Copies of this chain bind each other. A is one copy, B any other.
Amino acid sequence: MAGLQRRLAEFAVARNWQQYHTPKNLAAALSVEASELVEIFQWLTPEESAAVMDDPESAHRVTDEVADVLAYLLQLCEVLGIDALAALDAKIERNERRFPIT
């Protein structure tokens, strides 16, 4: 994941796109991509949504949007200096205490 984050950063530098990559803009772009994922599922029943990978075209579309979400998340982490994996690790530990197994 660190390698992908670096390639994304180099990609933006090479195209002089860093000027657009304020945290505010990247957060907006991330939410737009997340909504494109929601759009795929918006009229599906829960059962239909569970079968979305059975259709190659839908499967490709979902996979592509997942990549877009991860891309903007890593670019946001890059400009903010956040370690996403460490953040998630800490969050899971907090949640394990917050929601004990009953």
- Chain A positions near chain B (C-beta within 8 angstroms): 1, 4, 7-8, 11, 14-15, 20, 22-25, 27-46, 49-50, 52-53, 62-64, 66-71, 73-74, 76-77, 79-82, 84-85, 87-92, 95-96, 99, 101
Contact = CB atoms under 8 A, between A and B. Distances in A.
A87 B70 CA distance: 9
The quantity of this chain's copies bound in the complex is 4
Given A33-B34, A38-B38, 14 more contacts: A4-B85, A7-B92, A22-B46, A23-B41, A31-B34, A32-B36, A32-B39, A34-B34, A64-B87, A67-B88, A70-B84, A70-B85, A71-B88, A71-B92
Nearest to A22: B46
